[in-house]
Amino acid sequence: MDSKKLWKVLEEADLLASQAEVDRAIERMATEITGRLRDSRPLVLCVMNGGLIFSGQILPRLHFPLEIDYTQATRYGNETAGGRLTWKAMPQRDMAGRTVLILDDILDEGVTLDSLADYCREQGASEVLLAVLVEKLHLRKVKPGMRADFSGLEVGDRFLFGYGLDYKGYWRNAPGIYAVKGL
């Protein structure tokens, strides 16, 4: 995809949440998470690549001792429709008897997050919590009624990019949450 087409995607996109709105949502989430986990010494997992920016923003605001690890799984690659789940990296830290907090950019259908939560439980995690920057509100969840334990922004069912979310591999760095025109 050439640069002109990428700029056009951004210029035509609908801004759903500005950088200031995202920052406020992250601050609110950090307060909620700190209140819940301050005495639990959790293992925090960043889901790459989408969760990278969100994790980098929220981790310094979590005021309690924690350990960090990461995982990488994808259903989208550089496409705009999800396919088969592909694991690229598995967490390395011991989860037995621990609270695990999973940080990701979005809860859409929930396939990736549900699979990762199941993996953590199989590894002996005593509790698995989900924290996402964006939660899409629709009825296509992998498990009916699935919700994140902590979510920053709730949006409708559109194709999003910015703050870790990508459009065909690009615009993860966009300073807000945008919806692609027509998708």
- Stretch 53-75: mean pLDDT: 94
CATH architecture for segment(s) 19-155: 3-Layer(aba) Sandwich (3.40)
Strands ordered across the beta sheet of 176-179 = 14-18, 176-179, 160-161
Reported confidence tier of residue 79, pLDDT bands at 50, 70, 90: low
C-alpha separations of 134 from 1, 21, 41 in Å: 26, 12, 25
Write down the pTM of the prediction.
0.91
- Stretch 13-39: mean pLDDT: 97
